[in-house]
Amino acid sequence: MSTYTQNNSNSLRSILPPHILKAIALKSQDVTQRNRAIHTLSLDHTHRSSRLIRSQHRLHLPHEQTLVTSSTQVHRTIYDAHGTMDLPGSIVRTEGSNPVGDPVVNEAYDGLGWTHALYLEIYRRNSIDNEGLPLLATVHYGTDYDNAFWDGTRMIFGDGDNDLFNRFTTAIDIIGHELTHGVTEYEANLLYSGQSGALNESISDVFGSIIKQYALKQRVDQADWLIGAGLFTAKVHGRALRDMANPGQAYDDPLLGKDPQPDHMNHYDHTLEDNGGVHINSGIPNRAFYLTATALGGYSWERAGYIWYETLCDPRLRPTAQFSDFAKLTLENAEKLYRYGSPEWTAVREAWDRVGVPIPVPAMGGR
């Protein structure tokens, strides 16, 4: 058996930096210019070629076991912004050091540990970049700050306002969600807008929930499938920010309003806010994963998780992927990992069908 390694060549991209292409794709009033930018983004051959090479090293039979070396050791550093927006803040806990008196610091440290463990132990992925990238997090960011985000280098967590929101390290799935944005950036680099942005968000919710279930050793029928459970204060009428099993039913509050997530393409929200509703329309692919995982039973990180992870790393998954593109690739990866017509393949196909993203399936041998 050999150690699984990958060679990330993310620095080799098209001539125009992706952010400029993205800006043109998002902002340009010139339709031709926008289409060219989208086309260039979708034909980022260098990046996709490197992913193709890496994918050939990746797992094809998920049940095989492979040894990992000590180079896969997690390297966590937690910083404290002390209520300011100055990054990175001061170092308050490093890898291997004992817990400190501040529970927020320890929650971030432990959450990163669980996330790293899931990716390594289940998917044989060595950190965000699969090359052992150190994991950096800043806590106590801002004052009454109701957010957590990934800035491309680190995860940043606010303490919440303690009126509507508790601290953002309170839920392990939030930590897993943010770290998974890093994984997505190194793999598919899904454009953070519209359907590709909603896929980006959904992938983070999917693996965020998986990480929680993995930490708690829960089967799919034991999991709550909530994102951000415990984040709301008692004042809010809601269970969590998002509900993967029942998108649109996570909260219904006089101040916050009703959870706007759709559970079917018939209710897709064409809003312009939030980069085209990336945190709203993610409900559709979220439910597709939930339906797949619960149809298969057992642990979500296994069969359903393998299929979603393989799809995330599939070099054919382009930055501008739409729901139908992603759905089609999940079915193809279900076939690659299992077989055409297998329970896994059938579960994937039926799940997407139920959320209004039917996948045209040619007869076997016609593909």
Partner 1 sequence: MQVQTEGGFAAIPGLSKTIGLDSDTLPPQEAEEMRQLVTAARFFELPAQQPLPQHGADYRRYTITIDDADRHHSIQFTEPVTDPHLRDLLAFALRHRSSS
Query: Which active-site residues does the annotation give?
Result: 178, 279
Q: What is the distance between the alpha carbons of residues 263 and 354, in angstroms, rounded to a whole number? A: 9
Closest CA to 6 of 61, 56, 67, 68: 56
Query: What is the CA 142 to chain-centroid distance, rounded?
Result: 24
Residue 87 interacting with partner 1 (CB under 8 A) = yes
| Of residues 164 and 265, the one with the C-beta less far from partner 1 | 164
**Stretch of 45-53, 96-104, 200-208, 320-328 lying at the interface with partner 1 (CB under 8 A):** 200-208
Q: Extract long-range pairs of 27-31: CB within 8 Å, 24+ residues apart.
A: none
Residue 233 interacting with partner 1 (CB under 8 A) = no
Q: Which of 96, 257, 362, 366 binds partner 1 (CB under 8 A)?
A: 257
Q: Which residues pair with 156 in a beta bridge?
A: 138, 149
Residue 15 interacting with partner 1 (CB under 8 A) = no
For the CB of residue 151, give the shortest distance to partner 1 in the complex, in Å.
Answer: 5
Closest CA to 287 of 248, 338, 256: 248
Q: Taking a C-beta distance cutoff of 8 angstroms, is the pair 77, 134 a contact?
A: yes
Q: At what angle do helices 103-123 and 303-312 cross, to 10 degrees?
A: 90
Residue 204 interacting with partner 1 (CB under 8 A) = yes
Pattern 262-301, binding to partner 1, x per CB under 8 A? Answer: -----------xxx--xxx---------------------
Residue 151 interacting with partner 1 (CB under 8 A) = yes
Q: What is the DSSP string of 319-342?
A: TT--HHHHHHHHHHHHHHHS-TTS
**Stretch of 15-23, 58-66, 118-126, 313-321 lying at the interface with partner 1 (CB under 8 A):** 15-23
Per-residue tokens: 43: 């034909």
- Which residues of this chain interact with partner 1, rule CB under 8 A? 17-19, 22-23, 26-27, 84-87, 142-153, 156, 164-165, 168, 174, 177-178, 181, 184-185, 192, 200-201, 204, 228, 231, 241, 253, 255-257, 260, 273-275, 278-280
